[in-house]
Structure 1
Amino acid sequence: MDITIEHLARARLITTEDREIPVSATLRYTTCDPLAVYVDFPAEAALDGEEVTWTFARSLLDQGLRAPAGHGDVQIWPCGRTRTVVEFHSPYGLALLQFQASALRRFLVCTYGVVGSGQEDMAAVVERGLSALFGGV
């Protein structure tokens, strides 16, 4: 049985003018993709007015809560004692968001309560990936 965990989180979008705009996000984890976490943003938080979902490694979130982590499209680092910055890069630009670190930690703890670190079913992950790659279900 697949289990999905969703947590609502508040973030602050940091603009190029150093303004902070409050945005909501949904942190999501599903056991059918146990290595990944998803961050869903509503349409009003996106430049093009459509919902946006970012997917990245659960381990990246874990690492980024403690020290700077990531490269490429997603980078995460602590910002003081209470906040965590998540930086998303796309062909359309850059989004820099600050989250309460405690909200991200609570979400991460819940995901590990469902599937522990290192307990991911890698055979199932590989099977689904190959199936998607070669046109299966």
Structure 2
Amino acid sequence: MSSVSHSVEVRLIAVAPRIPVIPATLHYDGRDPFAVRMTFPAHAALRGQEVCWTFGRELLAEGLEQEAGEGDVRVRPYGYGRTILEFHGAEGIAVVHIVTEQLRGFLDLTRALVPPGEEHLFADIEQDLADALDDVC
């Protein structure tokens, strides 16, 4: 097995008194060992299209214990057994919270595929560079 997908439920933090529960999927591919993806369905997005955020596995792990991230994605513990994920984009900020144990379970699955500190053994740096250059040209 070279990848892991893990379905989770997140609560979208909004101004309204009711916090809607939406499905999301966490995905990890051992061929891109530093990154995780979190995908939200079209009905939960402003533009009515599926939204996918890519961020560091290490960021997610660090954010379970303490505030982490300074860019587009930020993660921090929230109360008892919850974790907040903030996604900063051009249209604004989406804030969700998720049961921390769901994230821990997902991270355990990713660590079984690629142990922390061994990502460089699985990364295809030459292919990543070629893909990046293809996007530029």
The TM-score bracket by the shorter chain reads over 0.9
Matching residue's letter, 2:133: F
2:43 alignment partner in structure 1: 44
SS of residue paired to 1:86: strand
Q: Which moved more, 1:125-134 or 1:2-11?
A: 125-134
1:60 alignment partner in structure 2: 59
1:114 alignment partner in structure 2: 113
State how far apart, in whole Å, the 1-side matches of 2:95 and 2:40 are: 13
Q: Which moved more, 1:33-42 or 1:121-130?
A: 121-130
TM-score by length of structure 1 reads: 0.92
State how far apart, in whole Å, the 1-side matches of 2:121 and 2:43 are: 36
1:94 alignment partner in structure 2: 93
Instruction: Using the TM superposition, give the Cα deviation of residue 19 of structure 1 relative to its aligned residue in structure 2, in angstroms.
Output: 3.6
SS of residue paired to 2:59: helix
Matching residue's letter, 1:116: P
Do the aligned partners of 2:31 and 2:122 also contact (CA within 8 Å) in 1? no
Q: Name the CA shift for 1:18/1:57 in 2 (closer, same or farther; >3 Å).
A: farther
- Once the two structures are aligned, what percentage of the paired residues are identical? 41
State how far apart, in whole Å, the 1-side matches of 2:3 and 2:11 are: 25
Matching residue's letter, 1:10: E
SS of residue paired to 2:119: coil
Instruction: Using the TM superposition, give the Cα deviation of residue 128 of structure 1 relative to its aligned residue in structure 2, in angstroms.
Output: 1.9
State how far apart, in whole Å, the 2-side matches of 1:99 and 1:122 are: 31
Q: Name the CA shift for 1:123/1:134 in 2 (closer, same or farther; >3 Å).
A: farther
State how far apart, in whole Å, the 1-side matches of 2:123 and 2:77 are: 33
Aligned length: 135
In the TM superposition, what are the counterparts of 1:6-17 in structure 2 within 5 Å? 6-17=5-16
Q: Name the CA shift for 1:18/1:93 in 2 (closer, same or farther; >3 Å).
A: farther
Instruction: Using the TM superposition, give the Cα deviation of residue 125 of structure 1 relative to its aligned residue in structure 2, in angstroms.
Output: 3.5
Q: Deviations over 1:44-88 (max 9, x none)?
A: 110110000000000000000000000120000000120000000
Instruction: Using the TM superposition, give the Cα deviation of residue 126 of structure 1 relative to its aligned residue in structure 2, in angstroms.
Output: 1.9
Q: Which structure 1 segments of 5+ residues have no match?
A: none
Q: Which structure 2 segments of 5+ residues have no match?
A: none
